[in-house]
Structure 1
Amino acid sequence: MKFSSALKFNAVSEWWEEYIDYDNLKKYIYQLEKQQQNLTSSYHDLESSERASLVGRPADIATDTIFIPLLDKELTKITLFYENQEKELFEELQELEALVLTQEELGLEGDHYADDDEYDEDDDDSISRSPERQRRRRLSSSATHNRNMSVGGDSYAPGASRHRYSISSSEGEDVPTSPVSPHGTMRRLANTFSRMRDSVTMKDSVTSSVLFPDTIWTARTNYAYDTRLLFKRRITNLFISFTSLRSYVEVNYSGFRKILKKYDKVTYSELKDHYIHDIVEQSAPFRNDAKDRLNHAVDQLVDIYTKCVSRGNRSMAKQQLKLHQREKIAWERDTVWRQMIGRERRGEGGVPNTLGASLVRESEPGMFAIPSPFGRIPFTRKALYLIIALVVFVVLLNVKIVDGGEANRCLAILVFSTLLWASEAIPLFVTSILVPLLLVFLQVIRGPEPQNEHLSAPDATKLIFSSMFSPTIMLLIGGFTISSALSKTSIDRILITRVLSMAGTRPSMVLLAFMGVSCFASMWISNVAAPTLCFTLIRPILRTLPPHTSFAPALILGIALAANIGGQSSPISSPQNLIAIQHMDVPLDWGKWFAVALPVSAISILLIWALLLASYRPARSPDGESALEIRPIRPTREPFTLEQYWVSFVCLVTIGLWCVAHSIEDYVGDMGVIAIIPIIAFFSTGILKKDDFEQFAWTIVFLAMGGIALGKGVTSSGLLDILGDLIRKLVEGFSLYAIVLILSPIVLVVSTFISHTIASVLLVPIAKAVAVNPGDQNLLIFVTALICSTGMGMPVSGFPNQTAATQEDDLGKLYLSNVDFLKNGIPASVIATLVVSTVGYLLMRAIGL
């Protein structure tokens, strides 16, 4: 949770305006960042020797002189509010202590509800009574009201203001403790509760007098009970007020620390330690003596509660007071923040949803209606795609396309799943889960050769499910574990910022550095998380760029394209690679994969970088009169911790074992077994928690499982053999390299318009069937997997492109348009495909494929 959200979630709602204005200070920081960049750029006319000593410090000094007064203003506001609240609360505490002593002196003498008749006289007479007499009347009046609020005496009305139940000892002062009129109504209520108390037996009274001293805090009379109830509410409300003030101080201290850390990070200043230690911690709310006073006041209230309410049991007193505090916090969060956060997560606007609105939305894109005798039936495009897919499915089931009943039904399932995956009529992983259901229900699965007998439903179920959770899936989960550990311990951010800090300020080198980092990060933390991380890191650069510069779209598009290329660089960087390994007769180990994929990726990155430089020409500023200078990335200064060293060691060992998996398969069996190592190492040591495991991309896991199940069905039903014979006849007489050249554009076109993972699910079995010689199958599967990652010509082509297409500037304007993708994405896709089909092919032949 971001600190701005945490601040709102932990703040006392009535004091919201008195907290540090974190969001506004953050906006000032970004404005100062731009000012600092402009000030630094103003020294370009100086001689190099002079510029080296001046650049940086004037900008730092300028930003400090502007930001410190803003901090001082917030600190003054907080200090004044704290001092007022502290003074008021301590006055109430003193008044409460005095009232407790007075009540102890009165003892049980105030047990005279009949005296309420005196309130029937005029008010002036009541005012003229003695202060002691008035105090007793206020106690009686307030106690009666409190009994109306809680007869049991143990419940607490969360959120009630402490002033509502306050007791005044000043003579003649109006008492805001009860809305009940001090006349006949008061007397009737008192008599009602007196009758309720008559149920106490004489035996109870005798027992009470023997076991406990006959004091106001232990007696079982009506007056003693009501007095204790009154003091309980007064103490509880004051306790909550003191703890809220203590929380107010802690939250604001965290606010100053967080905002100064962000300021130092953005402006490259070193203000945080000085301002925190020399100014914030010397202010009234944050001094140690103030904290001690608050803690002492809380302890005093616990002591008073122990005496007045819990009959000397201090442990019970602390437990009950903390329970009331938790109820207060839970009530505020439920009523003030929970609904707001829930609506934000659901994406609801100002108008609440109704049942009809949740089923049919007038403004939903693609909505249209079909007239019918029952009225106009609304449909979305996805609903139409689903109907089309179902119609095609039913037709294929009833029309013989290929020989063999199992193969024909499997073809229907294959086409049906392809239509659903391509149109996303239902979520992709739901289609994957549907595949094993259809394979078993339609009796597609056959036994092994040579009998190839039809399997019963129980046997088919066992076969399908055993193939779905394969070593490949375990390898995918192991990759998720490594990715999560690298991200949670910030190793990815530390390494990336240190590499980027060496890129300098030239736009071309900064672009190449970010593309290289994006590609490398995609190898280990997936090409889903890597571009998101990189887009976060470039925010400081984008904020300081001149308006309408061409460097911004070039940088964003370069990161996205490089992340797609990174999807082919390692076996765990994308699901399509794992699906390819699953279909290989002899799966490639990591060493051979790297021998081909790394050179191919590096050459593709360099060529795409040259394409972006030629297309955008980002080295010039928008006015065309000067060279554009990029703000350098500042590396993190935190040293590696023991936890980070442990994560790095486990990751390197796991990757090393994956690289030599075939050499040690007699001991480990498969790479999926090696993938268990990081799971045990990180979850057993507490680096990763249960919540981290639940946040894995399980939709991708089930997507891969569905693809494996479909591949098993295509193979088992005999459909693969039929399609293989048909395709081999079409390419008969062609050399292996000619087949690669024919297959490459087909794979590129398909992967451009549908998910890369789905493209591999559909095309890898075809590539396996195309091979004329069985020995060529692994090569064609490898080529297909690599080219699936190069389909990046459209905004919808892969997650990196989708993320890049949503990036906006400060004014909400998108950095990229469809023209950017068509102009640069399509040529980049063609370049990367040619690299795979030429350099990649040669390297595959060199390693023995």
Structure 2
Amino acid sequence: MKFSTSLKFNANPEWWNEYIAYDNLKKTIYELEKKQFARPSLDLESGESTALINGEDGHGDSQDAYFASLLDKELAKITAFYARQSDISFTELEQLSAEVLQREQETLSPLDDPYREQDEDGSSDGDDHSSSDGSPDVDRKRRTSSVSRHIAFASEGPGPSHDRRQSLSQSSAGLDASVESLAAKRARSRSVASRAKSSIKDLFSLSGSTSGLPFSIWTSKSDYAADVQVLFKRRITTLYINFSSLRSYVELNYSGFSKILKKYDKITEHDLKLRYMQSFVDPAPPFQQSTRDELAQALVRLVDLYAKCVTHGDTSAANKQLRVHQREHVVWERDTVWRRMIAAERRGDHGGAVGALVDGVEAAAASTLAALPTPLGRFYLTRRKAFLILAIVTFVVLLNVPLIEGQEENRCFAILSVATILWATEAIPLFVTSMAVPLLTVTLRVFRDKDGNALAPPDGTKYVFSVMFSPTIMLLIGGFTIASALSKTNIDRFLITRLLSFAGTRPSTVLLAFMGVACFASMWISNVAAPTLCFTLIRPILRTLPPKAPFAPAIILGIALAANIGGQSSPISSPQNLIALAAMDTPLDWLQWFAVALPVSFISIILIWLLLLASYRPSIAADGEYLEIRPIRAPRENFTGKQYWVTFVCLLTIALWCVEHSIENIVGDMGIIALVPIVLFFSTGVLKKEDFDQFLWTIVFLAMGGIALGKAVTSSGLLEVMDTGIRHLVQGMSLFPVVLMLSAVVLVVSTFISHTIASVLLVPIASEVGSNLEGNHARLLIFLTGLLCSTGMGMPVSGFPNQTAANQEDEMGQLYLTNVDFLKNGVPASVMAAFVVATVGFALSRLIGV
């Protein structure tokens, strides 16, 4: 979690303006970064820390002095606020300790009933038990004297001001008044007989506690003592929470100074943190070790007071109860704030709860097609609901209208049609549609046995689940494991930053370097995570660019297109590749895949790079000046033992995948090799259970549903029915024209729907087309279809990289890319990449014997 978010979640909402202004300081750092790169010198005012921080003049010293002056203001604010709050809290602690001692020294006779009151007629209810020492008048005088003593003590106690002493006196007087009020209510409601019985009971309870502790008001069981204990319990608990909040305030602000100085040094490449922390933050009163010890001692004193007043000397129980009260206070006082912030964080909304609500209402209203009255209320028809209704109606019609001869074939066609509609429109989540596939195929008895008979639901269930969780799915999970390990140990960021540090400052070279890195990263950490990582790395560059520089949209779009191309470069880089491997009778090994995919990807990246250079001219700024890019600094950290271990396991796994055919008698399949990183990373603590939970399981289930649908199309006989129409299309055509025709179909389909869904729908068709050609080229067409599915990138919705790029915004909230950018550059890039696959990819595949 970022520190700014952690600060919001852990800060006391009532003190929010008194914390370090972390976000404002961070914005200042980015402004300094932009000015630092734009001009060789700055004329910034020096704060009072200049003489102590800077040893010589210069641009870096000027920046350090300016930023230190801002930190000085924050430090002064925090110091002043802590002084006020600590003065109040420590004064009240001393007052409370004195009052506890004063109460403890009160003398109570076992025969005295503190709650005796006269009847309304003025006579005493306890005439039989009254004496000169225990009469109601004497007892009332004793209580009044006790209250007077407390008021006098409060007025003489230590405090920051006369007003503070007066408020504490009023608090003490209010305490005794509350006790008097409670006593009067109980006295009036007590009968003579019950009061006499209570007096006898108090005689034993006041003589000492049941636990053998010395007698005092804190161990007494009388009603009067119980009221005093409750009221002091509340005061101690409130003060404990105040001191806990004060200690948290100190810790959060100290971390804030450390974090913001670390970010400053990282962005500006200075070394201000150590000097400022040692010279100013550490000596400041709130952050001195003596201050932290005082806060810790105050909490210990409050625990002791609580133990004396409430838990009869049990310090452990007192500590536990006070911590429970503290947690309840946090939940009660901050529940609304936390709940809104967490909800906004999950929605990705930072505009506030009210804004989110208004936006949600407007979005719902905009997507509503009609409002229909029903007996159960008004039904709002949205686009998604309309597509869902269309899919259901289509499904019902196709089930009851025999468009295709054969019951199993017709039912499978209905399932294929409804799945296609739901996947294309996303009326429901994609993985939900995938999970509906085995449900429908089993209940409708679509699968057949070897004799052509429909499988019963028990047999169909065993079959569909056996094909869904296949070695291909295990390969996908193994890829997720490698990606998670590389990301968690920062190896991906380390390698990418190291490679980009050689890119230099020329915009064209930096653009090509980022595209190459995005493509390479997509091979191993998926083309979902790779562009996100690259977009994070280009943030410092984008902040230093002049306004409306064409380099910004060029590099964002270049990363997205390159990540799409990277989706075809390795078998585990995208689900469509794994679906293609699963459809092959004899899957390609990794060396065969690399022999075709790497040259194809390299040529595609170069062509797309030239297209972006011609379209955007990123080397020229908006004002016509030559643009120079801020160089990326190579990481200074060295590899740790854990990083070396992760690198070794990843390289070992990839090497085993490459030679899988040679060791097939040992490992059986690539899915078994995928278990190697899972076992080694989770058993050695590199990955935890939480990392396993965060795998992209929706992608896994999406692929599983696609495999199930492909098997259903084959097993039901629907593929044989489609074979007749396919033969007419390819009749008389040679292999290469078929490849060109298939490339056009795949490109169009994958542009408008998910690449994974496109492979689910088109791989079975490619398999059937290839099997009908002379020489049975099913494996070749399946392979090329898998590669072609990654080339559909002409629209903002074409693949995860495009969707991520389309949402990138500048500091003013303006999108870098528009639909015109995708149409102008994405469509030509898609056509070029598909043509490279259909020509170079086809030639290389034939060369290696696919």
TM range (shorter): 0.7 to 0.9
1:134 maps to 147
1:389 maps to 391
Residue 447 of structure 1: how far off its partner (Å):
0.6
Residue 362 of structure 1: how far off its partner (Å):
5.3
Instruction: Map Cα deviations across residues 66-87 of structure 1 (whole Å, 9 max, x no partner).
Output: 2111111101111111122222
CA distance in 1, matches of 2:362, 2:19: 42
SS of 2:832's equivalent?
helix
Q: Which amino acid aligns with 2:445?
A: Q
CA distance in 2, matches of 1:652, 1:302: 56
2:260 maps to 259
Q: Contact conserved, 1:39 with 1:59, CA < 8 A, in 2?
A: no
CA distance in 2, matches of 1:203, 1:25: 66
Change (3 A) 1:107 1:646: farther
2:132 maps to none
SS of 1:367's equivalent?
strand
1:100 maps to 100
SS of 2:282's equivalent?
helix
2:795 maps to 794
Change (3 A) 1:192 1:239: farther
Please state if 1:318 is matched with 2:314: no
Q: Which amino acid aligns with 1:513?
A: A
SS of 1:378's equivalent?
strand
SS of 1:762's equivalent?
helix
| Residue correspondences, number | 801
Change (3 A) 1:212 1:68: closer
Residue 725 of structure 1: how far off its partner (Å):
4.1
Q: Contact conserved, 1:360 with 1:378, CA < 8 A, in 2?
A: no
SS of 1:549's equivalent?
coil
Residue 566 of structure 1: how far off its partner (Å):
0.6
1:594-605 pair list within 5 angstroms: 594-605=594-605
Q: Contact conserved, 2:548 with 2:622, CA < 8 A, in 1?
A: yes
SS of 1:279's equivalent?
helix
Q: Which amino acid aligns with 2:187?
A: N
1:193-212 pair list within 5 angstroms: 208=209, 211-212=212-213
Instruction: Map Cα deviations across residues 317-372 of structure 1 (whole Å, 9 max, x no partner).
Output: 22222222222222223243224433553569528989xx9999752325234689
CA distance in 2, matches of 1:630, 1:798: 29
Q: Which amino acid aligns with 1:503?
A: A
CA distance in 2, matches of 1:103, 1:193: 26
Unaligned runs of 5+ in 1: 44-55, 118-127, 142-162
Q: Which amino acid aligns with 1:96?
A: L
RMSD: 3.5
Q: Which amino acid aligns with 1:799?
A: F
1:363 maps to 365
2:648 maps to 649
1:637 maps to 636
SS of 1:663's equivalent?
coil
Q: Contact conserved, 2:391 with 2:422, CA < 8 A, in 1?
A: yes
SS of 2:785's equivalent?
helix
Residue 193 of structure 1: how far off its partner (Å):
8.6
1:551 maps to 551
CA distance in 2, matches of 1:279, 1:3: 21
Unaligned runs of 5+ in 2: 44-55, 119-140
Q: Contact conserved, 1:11 with 1:248, CA < 8 A, in 2?
A: yes
2:480 maps to 480
CA distance in 1, matches of 2:244, 2:427: 53
SS of 2:633's equivalent?
coil
Please state if 1:188 is matched with 2:208: no
Q: Which amino acid aligns with 1:743?
A: L
2:138 maps to none
2:500 maps to 500
CA distance in 1, matches of 2:80, 2:179: 42
Residue 605 of structure 1: how far off its partner (Å):
0.6
CA distance in 1, matches of 2:742, 2:522: 26
1:350 maps to 354
CA distance in 2, matches of 1:847, 1:41: 60
Residue 711 of structure 1: how far off its partner (Å):
0.4
Please state if 1:698 is matched with 2:704: no
CA distance in 2, matches of 1:583, 1:91: 77
1:229 maps to 230
Residue 184 of structure 1: how far off its partner (Å):
8.7
Q: Which amino acid aligns with 2:557?
A: L
Residue 248 of structure 1: how far off its partner (Å):
0.8
Change (3 A) 1:389 1:218: closer
Change (3 A) 1:215 1:174: closer
Change (3 A) 1:249 1:36: same
Deviates more, 1:387-396 or 1:789-798: 387-396
CA distance in 1, matches of 2:336, 2:313: 35
SS of 2:380's equivalent?
strand
Q: Contact conserved, 1:791 with 1:797, CA < 8 A, in 2?
A: yes
Q: Contact conserved, 1:795 with 1:821, CA < 8 A, in 2?
A: yes
CA distance in 2, matches of 1:570, 1:172: 74
Please state if 1:300 is matched with 2:274: no
1:153-172 pair list within 5 angstroms: none
Q: Which amino acid aligns with 2:411?
A: R
Residue 375 of structure 1: how far off its partner (Å):
9.8
SS of 1:82's equivalent?
helix
Q: Contact conserved, 2:787 with 2:837, CA < 8 A, in 1?
A: yes
Instruction: Map Cα deviations across residues 707-742 of structure 1 (whole Å, 9 max, x no partner).
Output: 001001011011112323431343133222222122
CA distance in 2, matches of 1:215, 1:808: 68
Q: Contact conserved, 1:116 with 1:183, CA < 8 A, in 2?
A: no
1:494-533 pair list within 5 angstroms: 494-533=494-533
Please state if 1:174 is matched with 2:178: no
Change (3 A) 1:455 1:489: same
Q: Contact conserved, 1:108 with 1:223, CA < 8 A, in 2?
A: no
User: Identity, % of aligned pairs?
Assistant: 60
Q: Contact conserved, 1:113 with 1:190, CA < 8 A, in 2?
A: no
CA distance in 2, matches of 1:358, 1:77: 39
CA distance in 1, matches of 2:388, 2:555: 38
1:328-477 pair list within 5 angstroms: 328-342=329-343, 345=346, 349-350=353-354, 363-365=365-367, 367-369=369-371, 378-448=380-450, 451-477=451-477
CA distance in 2, matches of 1:534, 1:596: 26
Q: Contact conserved, 1:135 with 1:169, CA < 8 A, in 2?
A: no
Q: Contact conserved, 2:202 with 2:222, CA < 8 A, in 1?
A: no
Change (3 A) 1:115 1:23: farther
Q: Contact conserved, 1:747 with 1:763, CA < 8 A, in 2?
A: yes
Change (3 A) 1:709 1:751: same
SS of 2:96's equivalent?
helix
1:146 maps to none
SS of 2:271's equivalent?
coil
CA distance in 2, matches of 1:664, 1:505: 47
- TM-score normalised by L of structure 2: 0.87
Q: Contact conserved, 1:168 with 1:175, CA < 8 A, in 2?
A: no
Residue 544 of structure 1: how far off its partner (Å):
1.1
Please state if 1:591 is matched with 2:591: yes
CA distance in 2, matches of 1:500, 1:847: 34
CA distance in 2, matches of 1:185, 1:232: 18
Q: Contact conserved, 2:21 with 2:74, CA < 8 A, in 1?
A: yes
